[in-house]
Structure 1
Amino acid sequence: MILRVVASVVLLAALASCPRSEPRVRALAEPDLETAAILRGLVRDPAESDIAGLYARNTDRICIVRRDAGYRLGATVDYGEGIGCSAAGEVSRSGTRLSVRLSDTCRFEAAFDGDRIVFPAILPDGCASLCRKRASFGAVDVARLSASGAEAATMRTADGRLPCS
């Protein structure tokens, strides 16, 4: 009997001294909040949304329409009394970044999250020529109103032009 107890103690001691291995199956890491919201359909996946459409906030407006293999972009900022900006150019997309070209001297990267476009606060000096008085395209932040290219093409500038037509 004593021999069995001693053997059991020796066996337990031997097992306790064995190195423990990692579990063979690791638990999947929890996704970040943005990814979880996309997976549940609460937030549009920016990788799957087309950039074409009409965007606006207050008097800031952006239209994007398909043109051949790319996109045409029109942008307008209107503060009244002749203070504003207006331009048309091209835009291309790489993930959540938009490469905007409003003129040869006004090129910059904007952010796109599937429903919003945000221009950087500081733009190249060449963008100032597209604006009147104290206006600027800097920090334009607009939300999608429509994903319709036809509706985007009807956006007008303060002087009545159609920058996306």
Structure 2
Amino acid sequence: MPLTFTLDPPVTPALRDGVLGLWTDVTNAGGAVGFVAPVTPEEIRPELVRHLVQMAEGHTRLLVGHDEAGEVAATAFLTRNTHRLMTHWVWLYTVMVHPRHQGRGYGRDLLAAAADAARDIEGVEAVRLTCRGGLGLERFYASCGYKEVGRVPDAIRVAPGDDRDDIVMLLPLG
């Protein structure tokens, strides 16, 4: 059964806790979403709060995918670029699909819904994201229409002696 996507849902305690649980579970399953396993919800909470503040200030939008049980199963945050010469594209952050839902095409559905949301933002012509090298994520994003436009070797240190490339990907919306 497909996920149901909602852009800018009301931020309720259930939504907040659902996103926090998703972020924790994705990280602990090896997902590259800003942390390295193992993590607890309390370690992730401050970063989620930063995202929620950006949402309240109107800088960031949340796209949530709910499964058939109504649980938070996928998320992505879209953030306007605040540099006056770069307002024609948005950042896509914290792209996650719960491990129990992976392998069903939900990641592609999430990216398509994010592109649709970006198309509805006045003046936006592209979506930009970064991903951690070494996991094949760039191949997945490329299969969804993103193009690699930059790479910083060894920019992400996940552990001593384990540095990964920071890969910049771009999806033109035209």
State whether TM-score is above 0.5: no
The answer to which structure has the higher helix fraction is: 2
TM-score range, shorter chain: under 0.3
Q: Whose relative contact order is higher, 1 or 2, with alpha carbons under 8 Å and at least 6 apart? A: 1
| Structure with greater Cα Rg | 1
